[in-house]
């Protein structure tokens, strides 16, 4: 996460910025997932919980993408 922040903060290379931004997103999602796993959890269970967390995040993104056009249209017709 620190490396991603450094890549974003630098102002010399757009390529490094473009690497840092997705890296920061992935690191943030990993932090959310691993931050909610109890410390005594084993490796296998930690990875399963990580996959579950990513599946939930993916489902939220998918539902958002599906619902966005309908919500935009609803807001336009309501005004």
- Domain segments of the chain: what residues? 2-78
Q: What is the pLDDT of residue 79?
A: 58
Q: What is the pLDDT of residue 15?
A: 93
- Torsion sign (Cα): 5, 61, 74, 69: positive
Q: What does the mean pLDDT of the chain come to? A: 90
What is the spatial distance between Cα 68 and Cα 54, in angstroms, rounded to a whole number? 21
Q: What is the pTM of this model?
A: 0.63
Asked if residue 36 lies in contact with residue 53, where contact means CB atoms within 8 angstroms, the answer is: yes
pLDDT in tens, the chain (79 residues): 899 999 999 999 999 999 999 999 999 888 888 888 888 889 999 889 889 988 998 999 999 999 999 999 998 886 5
């Amino acid at each position: 996460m620190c490396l991603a922040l450094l890549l974003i903060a630098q102002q010399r290379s757009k390529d490094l910025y473009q690497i840092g931004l997705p890296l920061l997103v992935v690191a943030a999602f990993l932090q959310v997932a691993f931050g909610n796993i109890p410390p005594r959890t084993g490796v296998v269970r930690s990875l399963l919980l990580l996959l579950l967390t990513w599946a939930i995040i993916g489902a939220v993104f998918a539902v958002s993408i599906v619902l966005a056009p309908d919500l935009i249209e609803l807001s336009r017709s309501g005004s």
